Structure 1
Amino acid sequence: IDDLLREYLLFRGFKDTLSTFERDIKQDHDKGFDANKIVNELLALASELKIEELLEYWRYLSYRFFSHLSPKYHRTTKMFEKRLLRLYLVSAVNQGKREDIRAFMDKHGRSLGQQGGDWIPWLGIEYLEEPKNRAEFEAYFSDEWYLSLRSALTDFIQTVFPALAIPRILLFDKEHRECEALRRKVKLYEEHLLGETRITTAPATSGPVDFVEDHIGGVAAAASPRMRPTDANPVTGALEAAVSSETQLLDMIPTDEVPSLLKISQEEIFLEHNAGIGLAKFSPSGELIASYDDESILKVWSPDPSSAAPKVKNELDFTVNAMAWDRRHDHLLYLHDEDGFIHTLNTNTNLMSRQLVSEKRYPWMQCMIASRASSTLLTVCSTKPENTSDVSVRIWDAGANKTVASRRFSAAAEAKGVCAALNHNGNIAALAYSTGYVRLADLRTLETVGTIRTKQRDVCSAEFSLDEDSLMVVTEVGGLTQWSLRKGSQMTAESTL
C-alpha cells in the first residue's frame, strides 16, 4: 500500500506531500502494525534505560491502540506497563546504574508507592546489594521471565489490531493477498493432481486383502473423479491429454523402482510456543491449528500470516495426551486428559465441558479420531504408554455422551504404539501398530476384515487416501509408503519425509 501511495503521489505531482509521507514513514511509531517490531522497540527502550522514551511510547500506544479495546482489557494494559517498568529497573541493576534507579524513584516513586501492593519492595531496590538473590526479585532476573514477557506482550498487541477501524484502501490489499493465496492453492492442487498420476504399481509384498468391495462398497466405481474421462469438460480433456503424455514418459521407468509419493512445494516455520510441542492438529477445514506444549499451553491459531492473534490461548490445569477435531463441527476440539476424561472445547466461545470418561483398565490414550459422517468418536487405549499388544477400541457417541461399542484387540508383544484412521463414512478403521502390522476393522461389528503387513518399523501415522483405494503409512524415521487396498495390499509408492 505504501508503494502504491508513493506511485500515486508522484503521478499527481504532489512532491511536498511525498516528502512529508517519507519523513513520517521513517518515524513510524506503528511499525507497520507489526507486533514483533513494537515489542522489540519497547524492550529495547527498557533495556537501554531510556525511561522517558519508554513512557512516551507507551502513552502513544495507549492512545493509538489500547483505548479502542474493551474496558475489560484496561487491567491487562496496566499490568504490561508495570512489567516494562520492572524490566527497566532490572536492567539498571544488571548494568550497575544505581543513579538511574534513584532518578526514576525521585520522579515516579511516590505515584508507584500510592499503588501499594507488590510495588513496595521495589522502592528500596537501589539499596540492596544483590537484589536478584532475594526471593521477591529472583524471578524478574531470569531469562524465562524476559521471554515470557516478550511472548505475552506480543500476543496482547496482536489482539489490538482487529479492534481498529480498517481504512477502505487496506481492504484492497487484503483482497489482493486473498487472491494471491487462492492462486497458490490452485497451483498446489494442480501439482498434486499431476503428482497423483505418477504413482505406478510396485511388486506385492504380502497376502491379499479382499474386504474392500464388501465394506467400502462402490468406492472403486466412483474412484477419484479427477481421473475419469469426460467429453463435456474441455479443461479436463486438456489436463488428461497432458497426463497421457507424461504417462508415456513414465513407461520408460524400470518397473522395479517404486516412484516417489511426496512432493513438498512449500515449507514454513511458526514460532507459536515457548516450550516443546507435544500435540498439533489441523482443523478439518485446514484453516486452524490446535497445538499443545510441555507447559500445558493450548493454542488454536491460524497459519495464515495475515491472521491476528491466536483464536484461543489457554493454560490448562490438566495434562493432555490426545486431541481430535470434530469433523462435522470444526469449532469443537476434543481433549483427553491423564485422568481419563474427554473434554470438549468450543473454540468459538472458549468454553470447555467434561463429558466422557474412558475405561480405567486402559488408562493410556494412544489415539483419538472423530468420524466425518456422524458424531462418532473412536478411541484406542492401552494399559501402558509403550505396550500396545493389548488395546481397547471404543466407539463413542459424542452427541449423546455415551459408549456405543467396545472391543479388545491383541497384537505382537513388541508393539509399542498404535495409531488409527477412519474412512469417509466411519465404517472402516485402520489400526496401524508400530511393528508395521495394520488391522482393518468394521466398526459396525468390530470384526477384523483385513490385515496388511507393511514390514515397516516404528509406524507412527496412517491415513486413507481420498479415493480410499490406498492406505498411507508414515514411520518415525520419515518413511512414507502407500499401500493398495484393492490389489492384494501391494506397496504402490514410497518416499522420504
Structure 2
Amino acid sequence: MGSAVERTDEHVREYLIYRGFTSTLKHLDTDIKADKEKGFRVDKIIDQLQQLVQSFDLSGLKEYWLYLDRRLLCRLEDVYRSTVNKLRTSLYRYYVINTVQVTSCRKTQEFFQKQALELQSQVEWRDWFILPFIPTPEQNPAFSPYFSRQWADTFLVSLHNFLSVLFQCMHILHFDAEVQKTTSLTEENEQLCQLLFALQTESRDQREGDEMVHHKLPVYVQNMDLQANEVKPVSSQPTTSELKSSQSQQSTNQSTNQPTNQPSHPRHKKIQEHEKERKMLFSKPPPQVPDDEDGGGAEGGGLSMEQPFIKLGQEEYGEHHSSIMHCRVDCSGRRVASLDVDGVIKVWSFNPIMQTKATIMSKSALLSLEWATKPDRLLLLGSGVGTVRLYDTDAKKNLYEMNIDETHPRILSLACSPSGSSFVCSAAALSRPGSVDSAPRLPVPVSGQLLLWDTKTVKQQLQFSLEPEPVAINCTAFNHNGNLLVTGAADGVIRLFDMQRYESAMSWRAHDGEVYSVEFSYDENTVFSIGEDGKFIQWNIHRCGVKQSEQVLPQDATGPFVLSGYSGYKQVQVPRGRLFAFDSEGQHILTCSSSGGLIYRLTNGEPALESMLSLGGHKAPVVTVDWCSAVDCGTCLTASMDGKIKLSTLLAQKS
C-alpha cells in the first residue's frame, strides 16, 4: 500500500516538473511532509505514535489518534469497534507506563487529571487511578505485566498488523488493484474493438448494397460502445444543436413520408445474428411446463423455454411496519436504504448476514431518497416540507440540511451525478390542502421545479427550464457519465437534458397520464418508461418521440397499488420508487406484481417482453424493486405494502 502511494506521488511530481509548475511542486512537498497518514506507511505511523509517547505530548497523541479514527478507523464495520477501543486503551497504557519509567510521578498524575472525565466511567481503567500513588508499581502484581518489554512489543506488533490489514482491505485505497483492473479492462476493450472491426469488414459488401437510409448518431453516442459490458471514454460532449438536428431530421422524414422504423446499424445486426445462431446451437429441448406453474401467466408472453436464472433462495427483511415507498442498493452493493410511508428509514446490509446498520427517524414526512455516488456512504433524503438532508450512514448523523423552496415543498425525486459533485432535485407544490402523498393525485398536474445543487458547497447551481410549463417531475436518471439526464413528469412528458449546457435537448409526450419511472437502456441509445396508462415503452433518444417497442403491463406492475383489508378497508398508494430494474447486462428486467417480482427478457421484437421467472414470496402488492448484480449471482429486492422486503438470490445460467 505504501509503495503504491509513493509511486503515485512520484508520478505527480514528474508531471509537475514536466509542466513547470514549480510553485505547485513546493506546496506538494510541504503537504507530503505534513501528511498525518504518512503515505499510508504503517511503520511511519507507528514511529509517529512512539515519538509522541516518548516526548510526553499527551494532547498531540490524543489529537493524532482522533485523526486516524476519523479518517480511517471509522470506515470499519461495527464489529471491529471493540478492537479499535482496545487498541486505544493499550496506547494510553503504553503512554502511562512510559511516564512512570522515565520521569517522576508528575507526568503520571497529569495524565489522570486530564483524562479523568473520559476514563473514570470505563471499567478497564478503574484500578489504574492508584498507579501514581504506588511506590514501586513495576513490582505490583496488577501492573507488573505492563512494565515488561514483551507487553510493549506485543502491543506495537498488534497495532502494526491491524493497520496493515486495514489498508489492504479498505476498497477506497486499492491503488494496485485499480491499476491491474484498468490494465485488464484496457486489454479486453482492445480485443473487443478488434472483433467489432472484423464484423464491420465482413459486412462491408452488405452495407454497400444496402439502399436503406441510416440516421447519423450524435457524437456522444458514436464514442460509446457497450456491446461488451464496457464504456469507452467520451471524447466530445453532445451539443444541443446536434441533438435538435436529430429532431429536425425526424420531422423531415415524417413530412416526406419516409419510414421511421429504420433498421439497426449493420454492425449491431451482425452481432444479433451471431447471438441468434449461438442460441440455436446451444438451446435444449423445451421442458414440458404447466401453464399455472410459478413464472407463467404474466402478460407479455408465456414462460420461457430456456430459464436464464436459477433462484437459489429468498430472505426477508421485516424491520418496517408500514408500506415501503423506496428501496435502493448503494453503488457498491454493500448497503440498502429503505423508506416507508411513516417516514422511517432503515440502512441495512445483507452480505454476509442481514444486519440493520442505522435507523433514521424524521419529524417531517419523507418522500424520496437516493444514495450519493462519491462517497457512497452518504444518503440524500427529500422531505415534504421543502428540505433535503445529507446523511452519513457510517457516522449516523446529518451532515447538512438544505432548504429547497417553500412554494414547492414536496421533494419527489433525487438523482446524484455519477461524479458525485452535484445532484438533481425535483420539487413540487402541494396537491391539495390536507392531502397525503399516498392518495390519488389531481387530474391536473401540479406545478414543479427541477433544480441542480452542488454537493460540496451545498448551494443551488441553477433551475432547469421545464417547457411548455413548470410541472412536477416524478422520476430522474443520469446516464453513465452524467452528460445526459432523463426525467418523467406528471404531464406525461419525457424530457432529455444536456448536462454540459444545462438545457433541454428534446422532449416528447410519452404517456397518457403521469410518467412514473424512467431509466436509460444498457447501451444508452434508448430510454425505457412506465406510465399511468400501464404501458412499458422503449424510446429512441436520437429520433425524438419514436417508439422502439411498447408493452401493456398489468396494473399491479404499474400502479396505483391497492391493498384491501377487512370491512372494506382499502389502502391506495401512488408509485414513488423505482418500478423496474435491469440485470447487469441489460437483457432482463425486474418489475412489480401482486405477489412478488417478475423477471422478463427484453426481446427487441413483438411482444417486447417475454416472461421468464416469478420470484413470489409476498402477501401484499410489491410497489418498488431494485436489482443488485454481480458476475454470476445477483440479488433482486422487492418491497411491498405490508413493509416486507424480499431478497431473492439468483444464479445466472451461462449458455
TM-score (norm. length: structure 2): 0.36
TM-score (norm. length: structure 1): 0.47
